[in-house]
Amino acid sequence: MARTGGVMALAAGLGVLAAGCAGQIPLAASGLLSLAAGALIIHHDRLRLRIEAHSGQLEQSNQQLRAEIGVRKAAEGALEASEKRLHAILATLPMPVIVKDAESRIQLMNHAVEEKWGVLFKQVIGTTGCDWVPPAYLQSVLADDRAVFAAREVVVKESQVWNHVNGRPVAFESYKKPVFGADGEPHSLICVYVDITQRKHAEDALQRSFLQLRGLTAELEMLKEEDRRRIAQGIHDDLGQNLLALKIDVEMLHARASERHPRLKRRVGHVLDTIDATIRSARAIMNDLHPSTLELGLPVALEWLVGQFEHRSGIRCTLRVVGDREPLPDARRTSVIFRMVQEALLHVLGHARASRIDVTLALGAQRLSITISDDGGGIGCGEEAELRLRAVRERVDVFGGELGIECVEAGGTRLSILIPTETGATAE
């Protein structure tokens, strides 16, 4: 505009100069006017072109701005629609869902949370819910949230949701996923809760059933052992006494048989041999049913068992007793532990193909342990061995003990049994 004013002033000056000289040099003045008019026209055209160029740029900028505004409005509309869909989805979900910010302030939650918590969303939005839960519970929740952000992955955990109406927590399984911003800093936390109240009730009922079953199993073992003891005692008192009386009578007959009746003497001798074999069988049956050494305590009973096993199997078998022999396990535990070791030795005999077995009994005030090691390789480890030793496992479970099977690198298998003593079980 300054350049336009200068050109116009120049034209006006030329016009005045031309008018002043009109009387003296008429042709020169006319030429100057023509030049001024031409300059004005040229400048006007240039100005018009610049204005048109600027107008086009402004129009293009306006179009771009309108397009950006349209895109922004469309994005805002899509975001609003997406938020509506999200709220609709959350509202239909049966499980509670909470969205928190990096400071564990509640930003969003669905109707299921309101029902379980007993608090409306509008009452807790933007807060940690500190006014609606006990302080100790709140601190536990905040600590869990911090742990999830630190883990930087989905964390599944059994937790509780406080019910403000009932004033007690409800068992839930929580799934918490942390969300991080572009800078890697915590942004939000998505919390989904699955009600496991029914599952917990079922687990509690199953645990009660298991305890009842274990008690019944223990009672059954006691009844079986009592039946064994009673039958063994009956064999000893009745059959044993009758066999002994019969042997005495036959021995007297054998002694009175003269040399003049050699066939009778031989027959009576055969009868005596049969009676002796029957007495030995009866004693073996009594010992299998209820060894009399059980009345003398576990170490003595195991010592007898190991000796009998070595005699019958031909496998070298040793027993080592470690620890104090007092107090010894009660009669019930002694009988069950004796049967465990007996069953384990039979499995080694049938599957391990061992040439040596070492049994170690470690007695303690709170618990006792039994280790049975062999140099064979047939009993194996893992599920197969567990199935083979199921009877041992059942007896171990009766007293809340532990059974372990380990394959030794040098060859063989090590079976470990850990049983709480009566004092240890009471303490636990």
Instruction: Look at residue 426 in the predicted model and tell me its pLDDT.
Output: 43
Instruction: Look at residue 384 in the predicted model and tell me its pLDDT.
Output: 61
Rounded to two decimals, what is the model's pTM?
A: 0.54
Q: What is the mean pLDDT of residues 5-30?
A: 50
Q: How confident is the model at residue 383 (pLDDT cuts 50, 70, 90)?
A: low
Instruction: Look at residue 393 in the predicted model and tell me its pLDDT.
Output: 84
Q: How confident is the model at residue 427 (pLDDT cuts 50, 70, 90)?
A: very low
Length of the chain: 428
Percentage of residues in the chain with pLDDT exceeding 70? 86
Q: How confident is the model at residue 382 (pLDDT cuts 50, 70, 90)?
A: low
Q: 270-299 pLDDT, tens per residue?
A: 888 999 999 988 888 888 888 888 888 889
